[in-house]
């Protein structure tokens, strides 16, 4: 499909950020899947990968790419991942694929975060996409009540359990004026493991595929 073509173009553009002989940080999602397939073409030139999900680990291993535990990776020069939304500051909403916790961990470790996406992900203000929040299961109702006080409408993503054994609330109708502040407020709610605002640690580069080629944004 046209959208797949755009995702593939963004993924191909990200290869130039991969340093030879290093361990590559790999995110999760359909755009990242195209990146994994591209990375496989140069697998002999890299040490291996650290992954943000079981799904991405599986795909990497199917290509014969060694997957390292993050604790065993001396450094992660670059992290390649998608986003559900990205704004003009490189701040993102992520978690559509329920991998937000490990994505945020690898992003925190990585020196450079390169976001790959089709141009539809670029938004003027974050929050049209419901904000994923990973919660400890026993705290789901309590966290939902706190989110209502913060002005959101939380919806339990029933049937989904994360790689960490937790649940997800998708928060609709948030008016996100200060993403860094809201990220901190959500982090302070007891029972919240991770929220999908990547504002404190935002992208350093965005590769946005458009009909006229891949647009590169840097911060």
Angle between helices 30-39 and 54-62 (to 10 degrees): 30
User: What residue is closest to ligand DER based on CB?
Assistant: 29
Q: How far is the CB of 99 from ligand DER (least distance, A)?
A: 5
Q: Which is nearer to ligand DER, 100 or 131 (CB)?
A: 100
Which of the residues 24 through 43 are near ligand DER (CB under 6 A)? 27-31
Residue 82 near ligand DER by CB under 6 A = yes
| Residue selected from 60, 65, 76, 94 as contacting ligand DER according to rule CB under 6 A | 94
Spell out the residues 6+ positions from residue 5 whose beta carbon is closer than 8 angstroms to its own: none
What the block records as the tokens of 132 is 């994923």
Candidate ranges 37-45, 61-69, 77-85, 181-189; the one touching ligand DER (CB under 6 A): 77-85
> Going by C-beta distance under 8 Å and a sequence separation of 6 or more, which residues neighbour residue 209?
6, 7, 9, 10, 13, 116, 117, 118, 119, 215
Q: Nearest 5°: CA angle at 86, between 196 and 150?
A: 40
Can residue 152 be called a binding residue for ligand DER (CB under 6 A)?
A: no
Phi, psi for residue 73 in degrees, rounded to 5? -95, 120
What is the per-residue burial (b if ≥16 Cβ within 10 Å, else e) of 116-130?
bbbeebbbeebbebb
Q: Is 103 a catalytic residue?
A: yes
| CA-based nearest residue to 134, from 54, 193, 198 | 193
The reply to whether 90 sits near ligand DER by the rule CB under 6 A is no
CB of 84 or CB of 144, closer to ligand DER: 84
**Closer residue to ligand DER in complex, CB, 87/103:** 103
**Rounded to the nearest whole angstrom, what is the least distance from the CB of residue 61 to ligand DER in the complex?**
19
- Minimum distance from residue 190 beta carbon to ligand DER (Å): 24
| Tokens encoding 115 | 């976001």
In angstroms, give the least distance from the CB of 68 to ligand DER.
20
The catalytic residue among 54, 66, 69, 103 is 103
Q: List the one residue from 24, 36, 49, 97 that touches ligand DER (CB under 6 A).
A: 97
Residue 27 to residue 22: CA distance in whole angstroms:
16
Could you list the active site residues? 103
Binding site for ligand DER (CB under 6 A): 27-31, 81-84, 94-97, 99-100, 103
Instruction: State the binding site for substrate.
Output: 28-31, 81-84, 94-97, 121
């Amino acid at each position: 499909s046209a959208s797949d073509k755009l995702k593939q173009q963004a993924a191909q553009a990200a290869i130039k950020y991969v340093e030879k002989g290093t361990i590559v940080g790999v995110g999760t999602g359909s755009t990242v899947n195209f990146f994994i397939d591209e990375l496989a073409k140069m697998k002999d030139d890299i040490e291996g990968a650290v992954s943000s999900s079981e799904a991405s680990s599986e795909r990497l291993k199917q290509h014969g790419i060694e997957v390292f535990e993050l604790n065993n990776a001396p450094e992660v020069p670059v992290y390649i991942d998608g986003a559900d939304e990205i704004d003009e500051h490189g701040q993102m909403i992520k978690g559509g694929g329920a991998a937000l916790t490990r994505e945020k961990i690898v992003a925190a470790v990585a020196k450079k975060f390169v976001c790959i996406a089709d141009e539809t992900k670029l938004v003027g203000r974050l929050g049209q996409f419901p904000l994923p929040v990973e919660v400890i299961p026993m705290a789901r109702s309590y966290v939902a009540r706190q989110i209502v006080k913060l002005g959101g409408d939380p919806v339990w993503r029933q049937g989904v359990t994360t790689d960490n054994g937790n649940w997800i609330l998708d928060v609709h109708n948030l008016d996100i004026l200060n993403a860094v502040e809201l990220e901190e407020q959500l982090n302070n709610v007891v029972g919240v493991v991770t929220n999908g605002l990547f504002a404190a640690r935002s992208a350093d580069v965005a590769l946005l595929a458009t009909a006229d080629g891949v647009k590169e944004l840097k911060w």
